[in-house]
Amino acid sequence: MIPSRHPFALTLILVLILPSSAHAETITASALFQAYEQNEIVAEDSYNGRRIGIDGRVAGLKQAIMGAPIVLLDAGAPNQWISCHFPQKAQAEIAKLQIGDPVSFSCRIKYRMGNTIHASACSLK
């Protein structure tokens, strides 16, 4: 047990073991896409599989085959998007969004295919 005279030690332990979105890196949708354009190998090593914050503007709203919502973020050029896949339970929140709205999401980057970077397990920040 940690003595009460060392409250900082307990705080430090909690910060190290508890997950926190506050520590996640945040990047704009266009900067994320640009990173893949500049060097896809480095970008995949840096982002694929990681949860990051993504800031951008809504370019489209879709539904996956099973009905889960997908938000397309404008990645800075025509026909370039970040495809943010949300769980079904986020349907009501996502339905409130409009094309052009500024948004901040937390997502796990999956892969790039063509002009789209796919992200899963997204949530509104």
Nearest-angstrom CA–CA distance, 115 and 22: 29
Q: Going from the first residue of the chain to its last (125 residues), give the mean pLDDT of each consecutive group of 10, the final group possibly shorter.
A: 43 36 78 97 96 98 93 95 97 97 98 96 95
By CB neighbour count within 10 A (0-12 exposed, 13-18 middle, 19+ buried), where does 35 fall?
middle
Q: What's residue 7's pLDDT? A: 44
Write down the pLDDT at residue 19. 41
Q: Could you tell me whether strands 81-85 and 116-124 are parallel, antiparallel, or unpaired per DSSP bridges?
A: parallel
The pLDDT score that the predictor gives to residue 24 is: 65
